Structure 1
Amino acid sequence: MIRRFGEPVKTGMRYRRRPGAYAVLLRAGQVLVTHQAAPTPEFQLPGGGIDPGENVVAALHREVFEETGWSIGGLRRLGAYRRFTYMPEYDLWAEKVCSVWLARPGLRRGPPSEPGHVAHWLSPEEALDLLAGAGDRHFLALALEQAAF
């Protein structure tokens, strides 16, 4: 059973499953997160949807690069969670199935290429306070317990 975070499931609502991959990125006592301006301004773990036919690890590399401008390595899967939400940018009620990975930031190759995203290095305390999603906060806390960085 995959743990659920966020809004309760709305009775009678039809949700479309949307798998995604997200990264907890730790280095030198800091956490790399992304700030997404729209549809709601919020801090998030970098990551996003897995395209049809795309491998989860390839999607993770692509999404982190698009949202932060950084390459990643040293992947270790932390777990997964589900959340049920409305995605206004797609006009879609989604069951997001989010796999979360611990990764090491590699090289900064430039600014985020995805519009509306800005990468931020935060202290673990700031990140735990500012991350909008309960699932993001849960997996960051889990990673911090497991990793000596």
Structure 2
Amino acid sequence: MIHMQTFGTKETKIDYIKREGSYGLIFNNKNEIAIIRIQDRFFLPGGGIEVNETPVDALKREILEEMGYSIIIGEHIGKAQLYHYSTRYSAHYLGVGNFFLCELGVKLCDPIEKDHILEWTNPRDAVKALTHEHQSWAVKKASGLRAE
């Protein structure tokens, strides 16, 4: 069995809602990484896996919705989970992330999710800015940054 990196603290007597997602680590030719800003919070591009979707299918759909691009999915760099409380949904979640190195394909349409703003930043700044620890872990792993 492969060990999965875990972040956050599992509190006893709390029922967590398990939500599995897929996220892309997309670098441009300046070695900047794509992150998505939603108001004042930052996330890797990607999101939840729907019923009857594979992690790869979910990532392709999410990138199209958030960025308007096709995606070329490369290496699966890991899986990590995060115990956290979502203020947006007022619920406790166990977020399980599948993380893939990706290349941006072609622009197919305007993003569907208008509040998701694509930004490019260097990996060190992304690690600090990302809202979820398991996503910061994935950026470190993908970019070769050392834990600080």
Q: Same fold (TM over 0.5)?
A: yes
Q: CA RMSD of the aligned region, Å? A: 1.9
Other-structure match for 2:24: 23
Q: Is the 8 A contact 2:21 2:96 kept in 1?
A: yes
Aligned pair count?
142
Q: Which residue of 2 aligns with 1:42?
A: 41
Deviation at 1:137, TM superposition (A): 1.5
| TM-score when normalising by structure 2 | 0.85
Structure 1: tracts of 5 or more residues without a match: none
- Amino-acid identity (%): 27
Structure 2: runs of 5+ lacking an equivalent = none
Query: How do 1:106-121 residues align onto structure 2 when only pairs under 5 Å count?
Result: 106-121=105-120
Do 1:21 and 1:59's aligned partners in 2 also have CA atoms closer than 8 Å? yes
Distance in structure 2 (CA, Å) of the matches to 1:132 and 1:94: 14
1:133 maps to which residue? 132
Q: Corresponding residue for 2:95?
A: 96
Secondary structure at 1:73 match in 2: strand
Partner SS state of residue 52, structure 2 = coil
TM-score norm. by structure 1 comes to: 0.84
Is 1:71 the counterpart of 2:73 in the alignment? no
Check conservation: 2:82, 2:133, Cα contact below 8 A. Answer: no
Q: Which moved more, 1:52-61 or 1:131-140?
A: 131-140
| Cα deviation code 1:30-87 (max 9, x no counterpart) | 21110112xxx31111111100111111101111222222221042100001111233
Change in Cα spacing, 1:108 to 1:126, as seen in structure 2 (3 Å) is: farther
State the 4+ residue runs in structure 1 displaced beyond 4 angstroms: 88-91
- Give the aligned residue type for 2:117: V
